[in-house]
Structures are given as structure tokens and as C-alpha cells.
Amino acid sequence: MTSLVLRVHHSPLAFLDATRGHVEHQQRKLNVILPLALKLAKLPASHIKPGQFWLTAWSTSSSSRPALEFILSCTEHHMGTYPLFLVYLRPYAASKLPTATLSAHMHLLAQHLTNLLPPTRVFSIFGQKRPTELLCAHWERLVSMKRVQEPYYSASSSYCTRQTLSNRGRSPLPAGHQMRLATMHDAQAVARLCAEFAEDSPPFTLTPARALQEATYMITHQLVSVYTINGIITTLVAVTRLSSSVAGMTKVYTTPAFRGRGCAEALVHHVTTQMLHERNMDSVVLFVGHTLAAKRVYDRVGFAGLGSEESMRKREEGEPVIDDVEDWIEIGFEGAEVGHW
């Protein structure tokens, strides 16, 4: 007989200690959770904002050692509170677990959450599609917080490695074109692109001051690269979630006037190559919105599971493509205090 045990960890060190030996090989899946925990674990406890926690779920039986099934995080960063992040760890778990089992897990999780945080903190939940939809349904019933009708975000996870990275057809940049790390001289231009990017991601819009805050942070920490044409910044790529072997590409954006020129594809390839070969990362991961144009760009760079007709068919039918290439969704709730990510 197998049972599920939930454990709450109120510090990043407690979470990392409890999961040591279980998460190191799951860094792709855990890119929305693990990098921040590692970053916070380096800070003095007095510098960590209260109210954050990591919840782990363990399946136990008399015949085997406990297995880590899923992790949920409730965290925040310099720009505000994050959504609740939910990550199932078993390969293809979100597709292969029976719906009744998955629903029971999510009901137990939702009940536990009612004792850990106020409903107004849960402005959205982001995770693999099936468990997230079930968790949101249970949460809505338990706390009477109505879901926003349309998902805030629907995407596929993907990754690129040295083996999948494509170098076919890469030609030198035209005269006047450059790819480089952003500097503080670029802060206003990067902030403008951050604000434009946020406009495409409601409700996570940014005022000019907040966009400048985000740009300044990314530039100061060398997290954002830019593509320029004759000195004009056309495109940015940000890599802001880093663990020991995986880099998370979190923002890719080209201002409308320069779209269709290959700037984003070139810069994504450039940054991915740097992460794999210069930073010695095993993988670069990202989330790709469900548009054919976006998937084609990342497929040409070498991100896995996005381009083939067979991959498309499997995703449309809800089947797993390959491990770590899954459908993810962010579902929002009305009446909550919206954070930012």
C-alpha cells in the first residue's frame, strides 16, 4: 500500500537538505524552483523575506524508500511574489498517472495549502498542465476564489544540449549588427523592451520605473544579452535561472519594428552556445508559447521536441513527446494580489 506524505520546509536550506540526492538529476524540470532556492540558501537568514516555503510530497510504502513525487514552491524575488510553482518529477508523470490518483494528490495538496497561506497570495499557479488544472479546480472549490477564464500562459517546456544544438546555416553577422552583453548604458533601451514584453503578458505589466528596475537588475548581474543594428537594441535574451548544470532562458523579445530579420534566432543561438560551451552548462531550458512561429525558431536552434510532425501530433493528443518536453500552464485567480515573474 502506497501513501503520500507532505512536508513543508520554511527555509531554502531545509528544502535543499531534505531533497538532496533527489533533485540533482531533475534540474531541467525544476528550473522554476531550484535556482532560487540555491540563491536564497547563500543569504543570511535575516535577508530572506518571511512567508516563503517549499512543500515536498513523498510516496511511501513498506517495501521501498520514500520517493519524491512533486514539489510546490511559494517564493518571491526582487520584483515581487512569484506564482506558486508546481513540478511533478517522475518521467511523464503528468501524463501517465491515473486521473483519480492525480486528483487525490492535488486535493490533498490544496487542503494543505489552506493552512499555509491566505487565498489572496495565490494570484496564479504555474506547472505541468494536468496536475495544475486539477490543483486549481480543488483550490477554487476550497477557498471560493474564482479562476480567471483564460490561462495567463500556455507553453511547452524544451531544452537544448551540446548534442542537439544546431550550427547549420550560421553565417557571419551583417555589417552594423552585433550581439553582446547589455551594459548600464543600455538600461533605458532594455527597460523599454522589458515593458513591451510585459505588455504581451497580462496581468504582469510594468510601469516605466518597474521596467527600469528589472533592466538594471539583469544588467548588473550580467543576465541579459542584446542584439543591435547600427547601435539600436532590437532584441534581448535573458537567462536568469541558473543551477549547477542548467540555465533557464526566461525572456526573449524583439521590438516589433525589427521582427522578421532573424535577430531573435541569432541571439538565442549565441546565448545558448555561450551557456553550453563557455559556462559549461549541460542544458539550456525555456518555455515556448504555443505558436508555430516561435516553435520553429527554437527548433532551428536545437531545442528538443518542438519541430517534428510526430512531436506536434503527440502534443495535440496530450501524449508525452520526450521527457522534459511537456505542456505547462499558468492559471490565475480573481481577487488576489498580483505579483510578477
Are residues 21 and 150 both part of a single domain?
Answer: yes
Are residues 138 and 27 both part of a single domain?
Answer: yes
Answer yes or no: is 338 within a domain: no
Are residues 181 and 101 both part of a single domain?
Answer: no
Domain harbouring 110, CATH code: 3.40.630
Of the candidates 58, 69, 2, the one whose C-alpha atom is nearest the C-alpha of residue 29 is 69
Are residues 238 and 139 both part of a single domain?
Answer: no
pLDDT of residue 2: 76
Are residues 124 and 190 both part of a single domain?
Answer: no
Q: Rg for the chain (alpha carbons), in Å?
A: 20
* Angstrom distance (rounded) from CA 209 to CA 194: 11
pLDDT of residue 311: 54
Q: Mean pLDDT of all residues in the chain? A: 93
Are 53 and 9 contacting, i.e. CB atoms less than 8 angstroms apart?
A: yes
Give phi and psi for 207, each to the nearest 5: -70, 165
Answer yes or no: is 193 within a domain: yes
Say whether pLDDT at 36 is over 50: yes
* Angstrom distance (rounded) from CA 211 to CA 197: 10
Of the candidates 93, 34, 96, the one whose C-alpha atom is nearest the C-alpha of residue 67 is 93
Are residues 115 and 194 both part of a single domain?
Answer: no
pTM of the model: 0.94
Q: How confident is the model at residue 211 (pLDDT cuts 50, 70, 90)?
A: very high
Are residues 56 and 130 both part of a single domain?
Answer: yes
Say whether pLDDT at 322 is over 80: no
User: How far is residue 85 CA from its own chain's centroid?
Assistant: 9
3-state per-residue secondary structure call for 138-205: HHHHHHCCCECCCCCEEEEEEEECCCCCCCCCCCCCCCCEEEEECCHHHHHHHHHHHHHHHHCCCCCC
pLDDT of residue 149: 94
* Angstrom distance (rounded) from CA 256 to CA 276: 29
Are residues 150 and 207 both part of a single domain?
Answer: no
For 137, the 3-state DSSP assignment is helix
Q: Is 141 exposed, middle or buried (0-12, 13-18, 19+ CB in 10 A)?
A: exposed
Say whether pLDDT at 271 is over 90: yes
Where would I find the H helices in 51-128?
Answer: 93-96, 99-113
Mean pLDDT, range 210-218, rounded to an integer: 98
Domain count, the chain: 2
Q: Is 47 exposed, middle or buried (0-12, 13-18, 19+ CB in 10 A)?
A: exposed
Say whether pLDDT at 313 is over 70: no
Rounded to the nearest 10 degrees, the angle between the axes of helix 34-41 and helix 12-19 is 120
Are residues 13 and 149 both part of a single domain?
Answer: yes
Q: Which domain holds residue 114?
A: 3-154+328-332
Of the candidates 307, 304, 302, 264, the one whose C-alpha atom is nearest the C-alpha of residue 167 is 302
Are residues 198 and 290 both part of a single domain?
Answer: yes
pLDDT tens track for 75-117 = 999 999 999 999 999 765 445 678 899 999 999 999 999 999 9
Are residues 125 and 229 both part of a single domain?
Answer: no
Answer yes or no: is 160 within a domain: no
pLDDT of residue 1: 60
Most confident of 57-66, 90-99, 256-265, 312-321: 256-265
Q: How confident is the model at residue 61 (pLDDT cuts 50, 70, 90)?
A: confident
User: Could you give the percent of the chain with pLDDT greater than 70?
Assistant: 94
Mean pLDDT, range 163-190, rounded to an integer: 94
Q: How confident is the model at residue 316 (pLDDT cuts 50, 70, 90)?
A: low
Q: How confident is the model at residue 50 (pLDDT cuts 50, 70, 90)?
A: very high
Answer yes or no: is 323 within a domain: no
pLDDT of residue 307: 77
Answer yes or no: is 297 within a domain: yes
Answer yes or no: is 321 within a domain: no
Say whether pLDDT at 170 is over 70: yes
Tally DSSP H helices, then E strands, for the chain. 10, 14
Are residues 53 and 116 both part of a single domain?
Answer: yes
DSSP state of 274: I
* Angstrom distance (rounded) from CA 145 to CA 336: 8
Answer yes or no: is 118 within a domain: yes
Comparison of pLDDT for 101 and 318, the residue scoring more:
101
For 333, the 3-state DSSP assignment is strand
* Angstrom distance (rounded) from CA 157 to CA 326: 5
pLDDT of residue 292: 80
Domain harbouring 208, CATH code: 3.40.630.30
Say whether pLDDT at 254 is over 90: yes
